[in-house]
C-alpha cells in the first residue's frame, strides 16, 4: 500500500477560491461572520456540491472556509458587525474532492458574494491535483495561521486538551485524517494518523511564534480557546517515498481546508510555504 500511495488520487483535486467583494451600502451581519459566509455559500449552491459538505455529518470534512476578512484580520466579534460601503473584503473557500470542483466552486463562491448589495471585485482560483507525483522533499516548511486554529489532543486521562504550542505532528494530524477519509471513501485505502508522527521525526522545529486567543462564537458563551502563529520546520533526514507522498498531499490539504477542528466554521485556515533547497541542513540518513 505504501507504494500505491504515491499514485492515488487520480480524480481528486484541491481547489482554493478567494473572492473579493465590496458592499454598495452598509450591511449588518453576525459578528462571528462565518455564519454569514456559510449561509451565503449554501444559498448560492444550486448544484448542492458545496452545501452537502458544509451541512453533512462526520468528522474530517474535506472543506474549510474563512470568516469575512478585512485585510489580514478575520471578523470575529460578539454581536453584529457592519460591512462598510466601499470597503474591500474577502473570503476564501477550500475543498478537496472530484475534478468537477474546479468547474463549479468558483461560480458558487462568486455568486454568493455578488448579490447586488455586495459587488464582486475579483476571484483568485488555485487548483492542485493530488495525483501529481511528489516533488523534492521540502527542506523547510512554514505554516502560518490565517484564522485562529483549534488543535486538541487527548491527555493521559483521556480528556481533550487544547494545544498551545503545536508540534509538526499535531499540525499535520488533521490534514492526514482528511486525506484518510477521502481515500477511504473513494478508493478504500486507509492511512494511519500515526504517519504524521513518522513524518515529524524527519524534521526539527526551527522557529515558533504562538499566541493563545479566545474566540466568542455566541453572546453569553465562554470563549473557545484557540491559537494563532507561525511555525517553521527544517528537514533533518530523508523521507521514504510513501511518507514524502503523504507529506505532499497533507500540505496541499492543509492549505486548502485548514488544520485542527471546526474548519467548516472558519477556524484553522492557513498559508503554507515550502522550500526544496538542500543548501540548508541537507537531509541525512533516515532515523531508525
Q: Is residue 287 part of a domain?
A: no
Task: Give the integer Cα–Cα distance in Å for 161 and 259.
Answer: 16
pLDDT of residue 278: 56
Same domain, 160 and 95: no
Task: Give the integer Cα–Cα distance in Å for 10 and 147.
Answer: 31
Tens-binned pLDDT, residue by residue, of the chain (288 aa): 454 444 444 578 999 999 999 999 999 999 899 999 999 999 999 888 888 889 887 789 999 999 999 999 999 988 889 999 999 999 999 999 888 777 889 999 999 999 989 998 889 999 998 887 777 899 999 999 999 999 888 777 777 777 878 999 999 999 999 999 988 888 888 888 899 999 999 999 999 999 999 998 888 888 999 999 999 999 999 999 999 999 999 999 999 999 999 999 999 999 999 998 655 454 444 443
Total Cβ atoms within 10 A of residue 129: 14
Same domain, 173 and 230: yes
Q: Is residue 248 part of a domain?
A: yes
- List CB contacts of 156: < 8 A, sequence separation 6 or more: none
Same domain, 113 and 49: yes
Task: Give the integer Cα–Cα distance in Å for 233 and 206.
Answer: 5
Q: Are the C-beta atoms of 80 and 28 separated by less than 8 Å?
A: yes
Residue that has been written with the C-alpha cell 477521502 in this structure: 182
Print the domain residue range for 236: 135-275
What's the CATH code of the domain at 91?
A: 2.40.30.310
Same domain, 105 and 217: no
Same domain, 22 and 115: yes
> Which of 103, 128, 153 is a domain's end point?
128
> Which of 128, 147, 169 is a domain's end point?
128
Count the domains in the chain: 2
Whole-model pTM: value is 0.89
Same domain, 50 and 112: yes
Same domain, 261 and 144: yes
Q: Are the C-beta atoms of 32 and 23 separated by less than 8 Å?
A: no
The alpha carbon of residue 147 and the mean position of all alpha carbons in its chain are separated, in whole angstroms, by 10
pLDDT of residue 3: 46
Q: Which residues pair with 153 in a beta bridge?
A: 161
Residue that has been written with the C-alpha cell 511518507 in this structure: 243
Same domain, 186 and 79: no
> Which of 128, 159, 182 is a domain's end point?
128
Q: Is residue 167 part of a domain?
A: yes
φ, ψ (nearest 5 deg) of residue 58? 90, 155
Task: Give the integer Cα–Cα distance in Å for 115 and 284.
Answer: 55
Amino acid at each position: 500500500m505504501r507504494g500505491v500511495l504515491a499514485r492515488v488520487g487520480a480524480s481528486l483535486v484541491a481547489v482554493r477560491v478567494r473572492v473579493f467583494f465590496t458592499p454598495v451600502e452598509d450591511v449588518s451581519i453576525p459578528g462571528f461572520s462565518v455564519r454569514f459566509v456559510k449561509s451565503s455559500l449554501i444559498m448560492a449552491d444550486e448544484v448542492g456540491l458545496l452545501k452537502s459538505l458544509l451541512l453533512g455529518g462526520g468528522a474530517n470534512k474535506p472543506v474549510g472556509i474563512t470568516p469575512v476578512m478585512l485585510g489580514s484580520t478575520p471578523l470575529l466579534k460578539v454581536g453584529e458587525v457592519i460591512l462598510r460601503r466601499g470597503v474591500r473584503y474577502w473570503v476564501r473557500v477550500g475543498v478537496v474532492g472530484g475534478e468537477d470542483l474546479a468547474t463549479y466552486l468558483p461560480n458558487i463562491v462568486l455568486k454568493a458574494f455578488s448579490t447586488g448589495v455586495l459587488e464582486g471585485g475579483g476571484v483568485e482560483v488555485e487548483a492542485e491535483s493530488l495525483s501529481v507525483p511528489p516533488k523534492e522533499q521540502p527542506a523547510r516548511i512554514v505554516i502560518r495561521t490565517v484564522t485562529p486554529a483549534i488543535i486538541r489532543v487527548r491527555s493521559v486521562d483521556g480528556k481533550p486538551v487544547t494545544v498551545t504550542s503545536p508540534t509538526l505532528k499535531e499540525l499535520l494530524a488533521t490534514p492526514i485524517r482528511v486525506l484518510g477519509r477521502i481515500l477511504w471513501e473513494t478508493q478504500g485505502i486507509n492511512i494511519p494518523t500515526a504517519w504524521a508522527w513518522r513524518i515529524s521525526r524527519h524534521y526539527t522545529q526551527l522557529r515558533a511564534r504562538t499566541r493563545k486567543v479566545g474566540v466568542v462564537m455566541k453572546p453569553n458563551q465562554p470563549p473557545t480557546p484557540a491559537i494563532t502563529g507561525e511555525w517553521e520546520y527544517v528537514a533533518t533526514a530523508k523521507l521514504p517515498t510513501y511518507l514524502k507522498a503523504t507529506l505532499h498531499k497533507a500540505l496541499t490539504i492543509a492549505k486548502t481546508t485548514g488544520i485542527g477542528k471546526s474548519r467548516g466554521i472558519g477556524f484553522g485556515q492557513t498559508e503554507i510555504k515550502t522550500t526544496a533547497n538542500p543548501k540548508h541542513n541537507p537531509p541525512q540518513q533516515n532515523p531508525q
